[in-house]
Amino acid sequence: MELQTIDPELEADIAKFEVLLEAHLAGTVDEDAFRVFRLNNGVYGQRQGGHNQMVRLKLPYGSVTPEQLERLADVSERYSRGWGHITTRQNIQFHFVQLEKVPQMLRDLAEVGLTSREACGDTVRNVMGCHLAGACPYEVLDISPWAEATFRYFLHHPYGQRLPRKFKINFSGCATDCGQAMFNDVGVVAVGRPKSDGTLEPGFRVFVAGGLGANPHPAQALEEFTAREDLLATIEAVLRTFDHYGNRFNKLRARLKWVVDEIGMEELRRRILRERQLLLASSSWPGGVPSIVEELGDDPAGMTRSGQVTPVGTPVTLRGKANADPYERWESTNVVVGVAKGTVSAVAYAKLGDITAAQFRALAAIIRDFEVDIRTTNRQNLAIRGLRAEQLPSLYKALEAIGMAEPGAEMARDVVSCPGADTCNLAVTQSRGLADDISAALEEAGLGDVGGVRINISGCTNSCGQHHIADIGFHGAERRAHGRAAPGYQMLLGGHVGNTEIEFAQRALRLPAKAAAEATVRVVARFADERHPGETFAEWLDAAGGAKAVSRDLKDLDDWPSPEERPDFYVDFDETGPYVAEVGAGECAAG
């Protein structure tokens, strides 16, 4: 493997970590101060306590190279459990890393250009982007170089180090919004503006002050159109405004979304635009089109020369045929085709977002052998891009050999979950166990290939699993029954994001953890049976009377047998003893 020279700034970060870690272990650096420093370097404590740490790496817009995949494999074996986890924000994280080994781990990663710097803490987090950018049949601009420029510009930026709270930036190449711009602090969507000669000027529409968590807020448009040369200055103006006016005394109300609640969107807009107007006077003014965008270009993949979008993409099936040829099922659900650049992409399935060391290495070999590139997705899979149509059968065989060729990736069977009580201090339930249970139940019912429905699970109300934007969402909750504590979930229905709109899911009913899979099967089966061709889950739900009406048919599942009748109802998934809701001190576990 050809190693890069470690970037001097990253080497300085690691050297400082070594010095402060030694001082912390010697008792000369305050615990609170070291915790803030540790988080800013992408290192979280785990619920297991001691020196067990989770280390999160930034993968800007999900991009990762073969050399980096091979190093991720090495790191997973040397420092973690032999596998890594893709987050809903396109990061990779490793658990059970011992604190004393973190500096060497970071240095190993820096050798291939990877960093955990500002992947956690009150910083500018990983810059997300649509995983099909540059290969999408609908995009207005390829946002990849823009996301890269934004990542580079704000890494180590003085204004991004000690913010009131975390700050999230997201890019989508078109209004379809696969990148999910509508619930971020800054969501950037590529759009076109008519010019006097009848052509379209490509640029952006910037949305601000969105967020999930226990109190979700939709992002709102800052202005109708932001020119390409003004984009970075606009993002910096939002960041500076947040730094000036965010709440530094109450972490629970510190995100930019709460500033809107306090002063209103019109006043926030006025302050941001004034900050941008005067930013020209700053030594850090980033005006103009970034050099990397000029170098790489941002022409779209999916536009024809006439400017028309050719609507070729992943078909949405009503219900898959159990006896269909496996390759045909995979090709019909996992492959996306662009037009202008002749792009072909395929989604590789990573169950629960987990990738083993062997899979990391096999993916690196696939990328080299097929001469393509790869990105993580916000649904915890991987998009293999730049394929030729004739390569698809061979790719399918290669993925099948490593257990990553499941058809219907990002459809019903592909349940998204946060790490939950497996490692997180704030989680009250084993969300990963429920995700596995739901996926298995859908398979058994023949519903795994149902398209147009997405299922997300969080182990608490904080929405790291993004349950608020799922067609079917769950968040963990402690329940009491027969005088005993028991694992439960709140079921939500009807969340969705797309077309620069967002709808947060509505509460349906509360359920025992062990009944949630049956509830999901019933809803998905009813949707598959009743929907009309082309009807979305949200449209079907409205026609069915909404979340409350659908949940009435599930009420029988909110029943608690006694501990003697069903002792399993009082034991969480992947646990062996009685359920206990152990919640520790939170370190901001949202990815």
Task: Please tell me the total count of domains within the chain.
Answer: 4
* pLDDT interval class at 582 (50, 70, 90): confident
The CATH number of whichever domain residue 33 belongs to comes to: 3.90.480.20
- Over residues 373-385, the mean pLDDT reads 96
Identify whether 308 is part of a domain. Answer: no
Q: Each residue of 236-266: pLDDT tens digit?
A: 999 999 999 999 999 999 999 999 999 999 9
Q: Phi then psi for 383, rounded to 5 degrees?
A: -100, 120
Identify whether 581 is part of a domain. Answer: no
Are 170 and 128 spatial neighbours (Cβ–Cβ below 8 Å)? Answer: yes
* Selection from 247, 263, 260 nearest residue 221 by Cα: 260
More confident call, 321 vs 450: 450
Identify whether 406 is part of a domain. Answer: no
Identify whether 170 is part of a domain. Answer: yes
Question: How many other CB atoms are there within 10 angstroms of residue 114's CB atom?
Answer: 23
Q: Which residues of 89-221 form beta strands (DSSP E)?
A: 92-98, 128-129, 169-172, 186-194, 200-208, 220-221
Q: Which residue has the tokens 């001190």?
A: 585
CA 225/CA 58 separation, integer angstroms:
29
One domain for residues 163 and 61: no
Strand order in the sheet with 63-64: 63-64, 373-376, 382-387, 344-348, 335-337
One domain for residues 261 and 338: no
* Selection from 179, 170, 169 nearest residue 139 by Cα: 179
pLDDT at 591: 40
**Bridging pattern class, strands 472-481 and 455-458:** parallel
pLDDT at 342: 66
- Over residues 266-279, the mean pLDDT reads 98
pLDDT surpassing 90 at residue 287: no
**Domain closes at, from 344, 378, 401:** 401
The CATH number of whichever domain residue 385 belongs to comes to: 3.90.480.10
One domain for residues 275 and 167: yes
pLDDT at 577: 86
pLDDT at 584: 62
Identify whether 583 is part of a domain. Answer: no
Q: HEC profile for 535-589?
A: CCHHHHHHHCCCHHHHHHCCHHHCCCCCCCCCHHHHCCCCCCCCCCCCCCCCCCC
pLDDT at 302: 59
Question: How many other CB atoms are there within 10 angstroms of residue 416's CB atom?
Answer: 25
* pLDDT interval class at 341 (50, 70, 90): low
- Over residues 139-166, the mean pLDDT reads 96
Domain that includes residue 99, residue range: 8-110
Q: Each residue of 522-560: pLDDT tens digit?
A: 999 999 999 999 899 999 999 999 999 999 999 999 999
Instruction: Give percent of the chain with pLDDT exceeding 70.
Output: 93
One domain for residues 429 and 543: yes
pLDDT at 308: 39
pLDDT at 9: 93
Q: Each residue of 177-222: pLDDT tens digit?
A: 999 999 999 999 999 999 999 899 999 999 999 999 999 999 999 9
* pLDDT interval class at 61 (50, 70, 90): very high
Identify whether 214 is part of a domain. Answer: yes
One domain for residues 22 and 142: no
One domain for residues 347 and 255: no
One domain for residues 106 and 182: no
Question: How many other CB atoms are there within 10 angstroms of residue 20's CB atom?
Answer: 17
* Selection from 484, 480, 479 nearest residue 563 by Cα: 484
* pLDDT interval class at 22 (50, 70, 90): very high
pLDDT surpassing 80 at residue 73: yes
pLDDT surpassing 70 at residue 319: no
One domain for residues 99 and 200: no
Q: Phi then psi for 88, rounded to 5 degrees?
A: -70, -5
pLDDT at 311: 36
Q: Each residue of 31-55: pLDDT tens digit?
A: 999 999 999 999 999 988 789 999 9
One domain for residues 166 and 37: no
Tokens describing residue 380: 């915890």
Identify whether 70 is part of a domain. Answer: yes
Quickly list H helices, 409-477.
431-444
Instruction: Give, in order, the Cα–Cα distances in Å from 535 to each of 180, 308, 312, 347, 541.
Output: 21, 24, 18, 23, 10
**Domain closes at, from 401, 426, 452:** 401
Q: Each residue of 458-513: pLDDT tens digit?
A: 999 999 999 999 999 999 999 999 999 999 999 999 999 988 999 999 999 999 99
**Domain closes at, from 281, 296, 311:** 296
Identify whether 318 is part of a domain. Answer: no
Please name the residues in contact with 95: beta carbons below 8 A apart, sequence gap of 6 or more: 46, 52, 54, 80, 81, 85, 419, 422, 423
CA 163/CA 147 separation, integer angstroms:
21
Q: Phi then psi for 427, rounded to 5 degrees?
A: -70, 145
One domain for residues 420 and 548: yes
- Over residues 143-153, the mean pLDDT reads 98
Strand order in the sheet with 83-86: 43-45, 52-57, 92-98, 83-86, 354-356
* pLDDT interval class at 322 (50, 70, 90): low
Label residues 539-557 b or e (16+ Cβ within 10 Å = b): ebbeebeebeebbeebeeb
Average pLDDT, the chain: 92
pLDDT surpassing 70 at residue 316: no
More confident call, 101 vs 136: 101
The CATH number of whichever domain residue 502 belongs to comes to: 3.30.413.10
Are 409 and 572 spatial neighbours (Cβ–Cβ below 8 Å)? Answer: no
Quickly list H helices, 297-417.
326-334, 357-370, 392-401
pLDDT surpassing 50 at residue 305: no
pLDDT surpassing 80 at residue 586: no
One domain for residues 165 and 277: yes
Question: How many other CB atoms are there within 10 angstroms of residue 189's CB atom?
Answer: 28
One domain for residues 154 and 210: yes
- Over residues 301-309, the mean pLDDT reads 46
- Over residues 421-449, the mean pLDDT reads 93
* pLDDT interval class at 4 (50, 70, 90): low
pLDDT at 303: 47
pLDDT at 312: 35
